[in-house]
Structures are given as structure tokens and as C-alpha cells.
Amino acid sequence: MPADRLLVTGGAGFIGANFVHYWTQTHAGDRVVVLDALTYAGNLPSIESLRRLETFRFVQGDIRDTALVCKLMREERINRIVHFAAESHVDRSIHGPDAFIQTNVVGTCNLLQAARDVWGDGKGTPDCRFHHVSTDEVYGTLARDDPAFVESTAYDPSSPYAASKAASDHFVRAYHRTYGLRISISNCSNNYGPYHFPEKLIPLMIVNALSGRELPVYGDGSNVRDWLFVEDHCRAIDQILRMDCVGETYNIGGRAETANLDLVRNLCRLLDETIGASPRLQEHYPDCPAARGSSCAELITFVADRPGHDWRYAIDATKLRKATGFQPGESLVSGLRKTVSWYLQNEAWWRPLLDERYAQWVQQNYKRSERS
């Protein structure tokens, strides 16, 4: 089989970086071109080790720059676009939705147009695929006993982030139905793992606990999310790309529904155990409660709930399982263990991200609730 030539947008972000590591390891003969604007969420050190590979290229640029995308696609004879680039943080979308409209909606439309320009309409491009990476948040919220989201669940987004992703999904589908563009879409639950920017729940809890800082939990912590280890997400996308499934949408989930407070308590237990067993880590993280025999759970602080906070997400991934046999390889317990261990071993990656700007942002956005 001829090697594939991938354009990976947002490949310096959390999932994109994991994806290009995964892809270069599992499909070593393929060309991988990353296009990333390097916003605050893009981080070159996440993919630094790949830049020595001849098959790998990094280009700093914006997906809204159609001329650049077309040039790159022609130059590199791209036959697969894997589209991760997005503004991805719900809290940021509440404070400033414009960037979400620009990147997630306008950017995706420009990328679709570039693919159409280069690949042409309809038939004649059998190995081309535009895979759009989306989220379960497009479906809105569930009550305790509601059935999990299936691919035909009506879209009902709550946050500007979810609304912008929903809009982008619609455009991707419309480009298939109208112009015959060879697309596929995946809607995935919450990811976690290496290279996760420490503004998101799991890495934020880990780095705060290590420094003895508060662990901010929204509302009463009862909101339920499904969690998927990021490498499992990458494997699922790989399987979708290899399937003959143009025009299809697949849900991807981790079968790990957990209330936020339980998740944070699990993380605290893991940190207590790991730091408690290592004099070296106790010396390195003296402000972590586990270093003096206490529990990180004492840092849990309830903060005012996020406006429009969806109560529960749950994914029914039967369609993907039936089509490819896909199952998550990591349970929440094993995945969290790997994640904690990665953050402990890679302080050089996350420490520089905790600059003053970031600290101010966290302070502004996580206001203590009356109850804390």
C-alpha cells in the first residue's frame, strides 16, 4: 500500500500531539505534516522529539489561511486531513466566544474549502479523507437515567464551545452531502493523558496538588463525565481512517462515567500513594500535603459553578465497536495511574506553562463558592 500523507491540524495541542506521536510510531512510512497556529494551547516541546524525523514536518500557520492550506496540500500531496485544531476550553468560550467562532467555525469552513479546491468535488479521490475530530458536548446534557448519546441524538449544545463544534460538524457533513467531499466525523468524550495543558481538570488537579494549591471543583462536584485515555482516542481515529466509511459519524467513549468529585478524589489517592512512597518526591514537592503524610484531598475547594454547566455526558459507542471491534485499552484507574506518572516524570514540560499570566487566569476563572 502506498504511504499516506497526512495534514494534522492542531498537532501541537493535547490530542493532536499525542496523535502524531502515535501515528509516527505505528505508521512509520507515512508523511505527517502538522499545521498549528501555536496559540496559548499549542506547545512545540510536545512534538520536539519528532522534528528530527524525515517524514515529519511542522508548519506554524492558521487554518483560516486557505492559501497556505492549499499550498501545503499541493506541495505535500496530502491525502488525509485529520482536523484537531480548535479553541477547546469551555471556560474560555464563556469569557470570549469570538475566538471559538473564528477557529472552530470559520477555520473549519476554510479548511473544508481548501480540501475541496485541491481534491475536487465528488468522485476521483478514493484515498482522500477529511476526518473531523469533534466532541460529545454537541449533544448537550443528560439526566441521571437518560440513555447515553448515540450518533443520531439531536444536537443541543450548551456552551459557546459546544455550539461552535456543533456548527463545524454540520458544515463538515454539508460538504459531504453537497460536494461529495470524503469526510468522517468522530464525537469523543473527555480525554486525559500526557501533554494535557494544565488548565483542564485532570492536569490542573495534579499540578496544583504537587504545589499545595487549592483543587477547584465546580458546584458540588456531582457533574458526570465519561473519560477516555488519549492514546485510545488516537487508536480509534486510526481505525476510522482505515475503514471504508465516508460520510459516517462515530461516537468514541471510555466506558468510564465518573462524577467530577470522585475523579478528583481518585487522583488525590493516587498522588498520596505515589508521593507517600517516595522520599525523593517528598523532598521535591514539599508543599504537597502527601509529602507530610496528609492527603491531597484536603486541598479540594468547591467553587462557583460554571454557567450552563452540563450535568452529565455519556457515550454509546456501539456503532464503532461493531464496525471495528474498538475497545478502550485503558481503564480509568490504569489511565490515571499512567497520567500521574507522566506528570511526575515530565515536570520540565509543564512547569514553564505555569507562568503568571496563567495563574491570573485561573484565579479570575475559578471563584470560590459560598460553601467553600
Ligand X SMILES: NC(=O)c1ccc[n+]([C@@H]2O[C@H](COP(=O)([O-])OP(=O)(O)OC[C@H]3O[C@@H](n4cnc5c(N)ncnc54)[C@H](O)[C@@H]3O)[C@@H](O)[C@H]2O)c1
Position 188 contacts ligand X (CB under 6 A): yes
Position 232 contacts ligand X (CB under 6 A): no
Answer yes or no: 161 catalytic: yes
Catalytic residue among 161, 192, 250, 285: 161
* 293 vs 329, beta carbon nearer ligand X: 329
Position 84 contacts ligand X (CB under 6 A): yes
* 118 vs 172, beta carbon nearer ligand X: 172
Q: Which of 124, 357, 330, 131 is nearest to 227 (CA)?
A: 330
Position 165 contacts ligand X (CB under 6 A): yes
Answer yes or no: 137 catalytic: yes
Single out the segment in contact with ligand X by CB under 6 A; choices: 70-78, 79-87, 261-269, 295-303: 79-87
* 133 vs 340, beta carbon nearer ligand X: 133
Residue with smallest beta-carbon separation from ligand X: 13
Distance of closest approach, residue 140 Cβ to ligand X, in angstroms: 15
Single out the segment in contact with ligand X by CB under 6 A; choices: 132-140, 149-157, 274-282, 364-372: 132-140
* 100 vs 119, beta carbon nearer ligand X: 100
Catalytic residue among 36, 91, 137, 199: 137
Answer yes or no: 313 catalytic: no
Catalytic residue among 62, 87, 136, 169: 136
Distance of closest approach, residue 295 Cβ to ligand X, in angstroms: 27
The separation between the first and the last C-alpha atoms of the chain, rounded to the nearest angstrom, is 59
> Is 237 within 8 Å of 320 (Cβ atoms)?
no
Cβ contacts of 349 within 8 Å, gap of 6 or more:
43, 45, 46, 195
Distance of closest approach, residue 278 Cβ to ligand X, in angstroms: 29
Distance of closest approach, residue 70 Cβ to ligand X, in angstroms: 15
The residues of the shown chain that bind ligand X, judged by CB under 6 A, are 9-10, 12-16, 36-39, 41-42, 62-64, 84-88, 103, 107, 133-135, 165, 188, 190-191, 197
Q: Give the active site residues.
A: 136-137, 161
